[in-house]
Amino acid sequence: MSQFSSIGTTLFLSMAALCVQAQDNWDYASVHKSTCADGGQLEMNLCLSREAGKVEKRMTQELHNLMGVLAHPASLSQSQVAWSTF
């Protein structure tokens, strides 16, 4: 099995596991919403902005982890730039 196939299989199985987990807790944003539910609109906006920053940092770490195992990570890097622009 090629490295690309094994990475693809790993990603597919990881996504499948996340979907199964999401069935039990379908509102995965509820943690962030309940964390930021106190206060007025300004406080909630600031809190959600901080939470979004934490998620962005984790996604960036995962991207770098994935790029470390790919033989040719350039296309993934290009996709990430396109997603960030979106």
Average pLDDT, the chain: 75
| Three-class HEC string of the chain | CCHHHHHHHHHHHHHHHHHHHHHHCCCCCHHHHHHCCCCCHHHHHHHHHHHHHHHHHHHHHHHHHHHHHCCCCHHHHHHHHHHHHC
DSSP label of 1? -
User: Where exactly are the structural domains of the chain?
Assistant: 3-85
pLDDT in tens, 45-67: 999 899 889 988 998 888 888 88
pLDDT of residue 14: 63
pLDDT of residue 8: 65
pLDDT of residue 1: 47
Residues 6+ apart with CB under 8 A from 43: 36
pLDDT of residue 10: 64
Displacement of CA 74 from its chain's centroid (Å):
19
pLDDT of residue 28: 60
pLDDT of residue 2: 53
pLDDT in tens, 5-38: 566 666 666 666 555 555 555 566 676 677 888 8
